[in-house]
Amino acid sequence: MSVRGQGPTSGTGVHAAPPADARRRIPLVYLVPGIVGVLFALLVASTTLGSVSIPPWISIAIFFHQATGGLIPARACGGLSAHQCYIWTEIVWQARVPSLLLALAAGAALAISGGSLQGIFRNPLADPFLLGLSSGAALGAAAIFVLNIGPAHQAAELPIAAFLGGIVPGAVIYVAATISRRGPETLILSGVALSTFFSAILSVMLLYNPTSDVSLTFWLLGSLGTTSWTDDGLVTGVVIVLGALLYLQAREINLLQLGPDVAQSLGVRPRRVVQRTVLLTTAITATAVAFTGIIGFVGLIAPHLVRRLAGVDYRVVLPLAALMGGILLLVAWDVAVAAIPPIVVPVGIPTAFIGAPFLIYLLYRRRTPGGSAAPVSG
């Protein structure tokens, strides 16, 4: 069984990375510093955007002043009064920067999940939300709002409820991957069915409890504006640990591109790899969604962009996709902040405007991206 764009292995040895296709790739020695540089520059520039008007050079000065512990520059606000400097420092460092760091962490989580799922399913349209994780998380969050559970502690309970809700469809898909002998397309379609089912339940809950729609709807559309340094630390820690575990499977994901039969003959247990990946992507995606709400398409777009730039070796695709996901979500957040000042648009709206045309483009491409699977057969 072969995959389009793959060639035979040479000699008696087997390479963990699929052979590169004919398209020229950007050397990693240039690509990696370039992506990191764009990410850092975008992070710094994003501190200048917000509902409160602060001169850009002062926002950037405050950022470097706080990030370096006061070393650069000696006095961040120049000739401003101490009171005004304090207020602007609180706005930049305590309000804007935590939201930006959450965007980086959540974007990385969604992108590395999408890259992993596209690899194991050998399907260019696979996405963490395609497995129903978003609808499950939304249902968990809706239960907190609609049923008015613990109104005094909703800010703390919301991420927990959303995480538990996201785990449910992931657990169903995990069990299906364990007991089913059907192909990956069946697992993806099972996720689509679960997503539809959870969305129907959510619609019923909102229909009969309309008083809670405003706060819940804003969360469902994606929100980064109410985060804290504690949230950033938790999400970043989970992303680093689970992302590293997903990266350790990159070699097996590479071999799966040759087909499950070939991969199994080379010592890979395809079903076990699928099970582990579904479990890890469920946990990392549910964590991100629990703190950001429903943000789509990042996990779909970022891995594709990286494969176009760097090739199909998942040992390269996964870490670079994490960086690219952070860039995409930062851009979406900047658009959300700057689109209708002083109103902050839910960040899920810009990602939908970007992602929907991209999905249509993928659906109508004649060729699949290098290293991804052929289209799902009917």
Domains defined along the chain, listed by start: 101-363 (1.10.3470.10)
Mean pLDDT, to the nearest integer, of 292-297? Answer: 87
pLDDT of the residue at 155: 67
Is pLDDT of 307 > 80?
Answer: yes
Q: How far apart are CA 316 and CA 88, in angstroms?
A: 40
pLDDT of the residue at 106: 95
Mean pLDDT, to the nearest integer, of 235-258? Answer: 95
Q: Which of 129-133, 219-223, 226-230, 267-271 has the lowest mean pLDDT?
A: 129-133
Q: Which of 12-16, 112-116, 225-229, 277-281 has the lowest mean pLDDT?
A: 12-16
Is pLDDT of 108 > 60?
Answer: yes
Contact predicate 300/359, CB 8 Å: yes
> What is the band of 358 on the pLDDT scale with cuts at 50, 70, 90?
confident
Mean pLDDT, to the nearest integer, of 218-244? Answer: 89
pLDDT of the residue at 10: 40
Cα separation values, 79 from 53, 69, 85, 205, Å:
17, 20, 9, 54
Mean pLDDT, to the nearest integer, of 56-81? Answer: 80
More confident residue, 363 or 65: 65
pLDDT of the residue at 127: 84
In tens, the pLDDT along 252-291 reads 999 999 988 898 998 899 888 988 998 899 889 888 888 8
Peptide bond between residue 169 and the one before it cis (omega within 30 degrees of 0): no
Mean pLDDT, to the nearest integer, of 320-342? Answer: 93
Where does the chain have alpha helices with state H?
A: 28-46, 56-67, 82-89, 97-121, 133-146, 154-179, 184-208, 213-220, 229-247, 250-256, 260-265, 270-292, 298-310, 314-338, 348-363
* Average pLDDT across the chain, whole number: 82
Mean pLDDT, to the nearest integer, of 353-375? Answer: 65
pLDDT of the residue at 376: 36
Q: How far apart are CA 21 and CA 243, in angstroms?
A: 27
More confident residue, 318 or 176: 318
DSSP letter string, 99-149: HHHHHHHHHHHHHHHHHHHHHHHT-TT--GGGGTHHHHHHHHHHHHHHTT-
Mean pLDDT, to the nearest integer, of 178-201? Answer: 78
Q: How far apart are CA 378 and CA 306, in angstroms?
A: 28
pLDDT of the residue at 174: 76
More confident residue, 164 or 149: 164
pTM for this structure? 0.85
